[in-house]
Amino acid sequence: MANEEFQRRVQELEAANRQLEGLGVLNEQLSELLDVRSSLGFETVAAEVISRAASQTERAISLDRGSDAGIAVGNPVVAGGGALVGQVVEVGPNFSRVLLLSDTRMTVVGLVEGSRATGEVSGQLERPLIMQRIVATEAVEVGESVITAGIDLGEGIRSPYPRGLLIGSVVDVERPPNQVVQVALLRPAADYDRLEYVLVITDYEGGLPLPSPAPTIEAP
């Protein structure tokens, strides 16, 4: 009996230690989000990740905040360190669904911080992000950080993401001979499988301009 009691106490202590470790990780994540919120310069809503969808065709998460908190379709989503997570694609009163950057339907224009080269970053599910259409003459080195370019295309068309959000770091560069473009593979800055809390940017106006309201026609 004494040995069984001892084993039970050991198990209780191990469970308590795991709980304390989990609280420490949670506090660290929340502290990082507070730092990001103060540095972004945008209105944000903090939300908890309540479910994940990972299949052969999709990478997405669901959050516990929605339109009642000011979240709308198209809002960018970031994690600690200012890392880009993805974009809101569906909203309800008290939930929202986010398509992760690792989803194959996601594309964002990235900027290599060192060389200032630009390219289109897309998801590849469980594989690294791929950055394509980089001009071959630009020097892109392994280890360099890639951020959102936030390019303004004119005529009211802006990037869906603010400039300067961290996308990832270069882990490999492919430079095919006699080609005018090169390709880089990126390790995402955000750990999508371990996200617990995120920030949703609610006041950034990106993408296509909103249509002008129809003119009012007075009745004769």
> Would you list the DSSP string of the chain?
-HHHHHHHHHHHHHHHHHHHHHHHHHHHHHHHHHHHHHHH-S-EEEEEEEEEEE-SS-EEEEES--GGGT--TT-EEEEGGGEEEEEEEEEETTEEEEEETTSTT-EEEEEETTT--EEEEEEETTEEEEEEEEETTS---TT-EEEE---EEETTEE-SS-TT-EEEEEEEEE--TT-SEEEEEEEESS-GGG--EEEEE-S---BSPPPPPPPP----
**What's the whole-number mean pLDDT along residues 106-111?**
94
Distance CA 134, CA 151 (A): 15
- Among 19-23, 67-71, 136-140, which is the least confidently predicted range? 19-23
pLDDT of residue 33: 79
For residue 172, what are its two tokens?
A: 């490999």
Residue 56 has pLDDT above 80, yes or no: yes
Given a cut of 70, whether residue 15 has pLDDT beyond it is no
Q: Does residue 216 surpass a pLDDT of 50?
A: no
Those residues with Cβ within 8 angstroms of residue 18's Cβ, 6 or more apart along the chain or in another chain: none
Domains defined for the chain, CATH in brackets: 8-102+193-201 (2.40.10.340), 107-189 (2.40.10.350)
Q: What is the pLDDT of residue 219?
A: 46
pTM of this prediction?
Answer: 0.80
Taking residues 133-139, report their average pLDDT. 93
- Cα separation, 106 vs 207, whole angstroms: 14
pLDDT in tens, 178-191: 889 999 999 999 99
**Model confidence at 37: pLDDT above 70:** yes
Split at pLDDT 50, 70, 90, the class of 40 is: confident
Angle (CA) 26 99 132, round 5°? 110
Q: What is the pLDDT of residues 153-210, one digit of tens each?
A: 666 667 899 999 999 999 999 988 888 999 999 999 999 998 999 999 999 987 655 4
Q: What is the mean pLDDT of the chain?
A: 85
pLDDT of residue 11: 65
